């Protein structure tokens, strides 16, 4: 029987996941399809139940259900637990639901694709202490990137997060700013990279060391204000497309056993969003 997969969220119409996964199914000769499903928060439990009953083999989870779905799953792995968020569900052979989170590992894969190594990076800085920051820090630490400084508007959250990630510590925003030249990698994980000027977000990439890698997890717009400033300050910049494509590729691999072509996909999404 033809397999089918889905992505659930609210809103969902803008999601690029269906076209991405359908392209990969075609490229790999897999007879399956992937559909977007609009699920409102108060219908999440019913939606999970229906997906199971209708024979869905696995699905992605996006805003606002990433944490809320956890109680409806049978198991979640360490990565998802760290992030308190699930972005990928697989229906196992016995019908139970397994949840993981491929966002952090997706970020690390996209970083590795640019040839960036832990040795070259040395000390790194994570801006933000939400779920995305936790997943990325956890995956970076697992891939050998350390030490990890975590800065956040609310420093208590940075302290809390660094307790659960080996090799990480919290740093006040002002201190991170004055020591910015010591970081070989800076990762912006908050929603404010988008409209830097209006938000008055405290960290300015001016003063980074020449050639430092500066990443923003946002990919639309392709270049956030934060990334533009980092580029002008001499940084090697990386937007969130690589992370998006690799988180999808890791989900695809979990479902099908195949790691799909990410380079071609990154290129076509970049073009679609108006970049080169």
Q: Is 9 in the site for ligand ATR (CB under 6 A)?
A: no
Q: Is 191 in the site for ligand ATR (CB under 6 A)?
A: yes
- Grouping H, G, I as helix, E, B as strand and the rest as coil, residue 68 is coil
What whole-number distance in Å separates Cα of residue 183 and Cα of residue 70?
35
Q: What angle in degrees, to the nearest 10, is found between the helix axes of 131-142 and 155-163?
A: 40
Tokens linked to 75: 């198991």
Q: Which residues contact 82 (CB under 8 A, 6 or more apart)?
A: 101, 104, 134, 135, 138, 164, 165
Q: Is 21 exposed, middle or buried (0-12, 13-18, 19+ CB in 10 A)?
A: buried
Beta pairing, strands 88-91 & 97-100: antiparallel
Q: Is 193 in the site for ligand ATR (CB under 6 A)?
A: no
Q: Is 87 in the site for ligand ATR (CB under 6 A)?
A: no
Q: Is 131 in the site for ligand ATR (CB under 6 A)?
A: yes
Q: How far is the CB of 216 from ligand ATR (least distance, A)?
A: 12
Query: Which of 5, 98, 183, 201 lies at the binding interface for ligand ATR (CB under 6 A)?
Result: 201
Q: Is 152 in the site for ligand ATR (CB under 6 A)?
A: yes
Query: Which of 53, 154, 210, 276 lies at the binding interface for ligand ATR (CB under 6 A)?
Result: 154
Catalytic residue (choose from 66, 90, 157, 159): 66
Q: How far is the CB of 22 from ligand ATR (least distance, A)?
A: 26
Q: Is 157 in the site for ligand ATR (CB under 6 A)?
A: yes
Q: How far is the CB of 98 from ligand ATR (least distance, A)?
A: 21
For ligand ATR, the binding residues in 215-234 under the rule CB under 6 A are: none
Q: How far is the CB of 142 from ligand ATR (least distance, A)?
A: 18
Instruction: Say if residues 189 and 132 touch (Cβ distance below 8 Å).
Output: yes
What residue ranges in the chain does DSSP mark as E strands?
3-9, 32-38, 58-61, 75-76, 88-91, 97-100, 124-127, 148-151, 168-170, 185-188, 213-216, 236-238
**Preceding amide of 64 cis, omega within 30:** yes
Instruction: Say if residues 11 and 62 touch (Cβ distance below 8 Å).
Output: no
Q: Is 190 in the site for ligand ATR (CB under 6 A)?
A: yes
- Tokens 């980092």 belong to residue: 230
Q: Catalytic annotation on 52?
A: no
Choose the binding region for ligand ATR from 52-60, 98-106, 185-193, 220-228 (rule: CB under 6 A): 185-193
Choose the binding region for ligand ATR from 6-14, 118-126, 184-192, 205-213 (rule: CB under 6 A): 184-192
Query: Please, which residue, 64 or 275, has the CB nearer to ligand ATR?
Result: 64
Query: Which of 9, 104, 128, 248 lies at the binding interface for ligand ATR (CB under 6 A)?
Result: 128
Task: Work out the end-to-end distance of the chain between its first and last CA atoms, rounded to an integer number of angstroms.
Answer: 40
Query: Please, which residue, 189 or 247, has the CB nearer to ligand ATR?
Result: 189
Q: Interface residues with ligand ATR (CB under 6 A)?
A: 128-133, 152-154, 157, 189-192, 199, 201
Residues taking part in catalysis: 66
């Amino acid at each position: 029987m033809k397999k089918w997969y889905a992505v659930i969220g609210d809103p969902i119409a803008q999601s690029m996941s269906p076209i991405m996964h359908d392209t990969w199914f075609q490229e790999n000769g897999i007879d399956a399809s992937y559909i977007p499903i609009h699920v409102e928060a108060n219908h999440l439990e019913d939606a999970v139940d229906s997906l199971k009953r209708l024979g869905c083999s696995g699905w992605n989870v996006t805003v606002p259900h990433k944490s809320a779905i956890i109680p409806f799953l049978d198991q979640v792995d360490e990565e998802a637990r760290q992030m308190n968020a699930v972005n990928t569900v697989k229906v196992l052979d016995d019908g139970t639901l397994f949840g993981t989170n491929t966002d952090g590992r997706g970020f690390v894969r996209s970083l590795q694709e640019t040839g960036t190594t832990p040795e070259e990076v040395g000390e790194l800085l994570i801006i933000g202490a939400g779920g995305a920051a936790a997943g990325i820090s956890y995956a970076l630490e697992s891939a050998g990137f350390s030490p990890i400084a975590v800065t956040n508007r609310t420093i208590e959250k940075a302290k809390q997060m660094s307790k659960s990630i080996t090799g990480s510590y919290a740093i006040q925003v002002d201190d991170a700013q004055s020591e910015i030249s010591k970081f070989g990698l800076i990762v912006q994980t908050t929603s404010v990279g988008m409209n830097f000027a209006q938000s008055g977000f405290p960290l300015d990439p001016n003063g980074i060391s020449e050639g430092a890698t500066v990443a923003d997890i946002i990919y639309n717009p392709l270049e956030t204000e934060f990334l533009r400033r980092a580029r002008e300050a001499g940084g090697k910049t990386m937007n969130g497309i690589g992370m998006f494509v690799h988180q999808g590729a890791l989900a695809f691999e979990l479902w099908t056993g195949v790691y799909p072509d990410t380079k071609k996909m990154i290129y076509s999404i970049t073009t679609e969003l108006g970049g080169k």
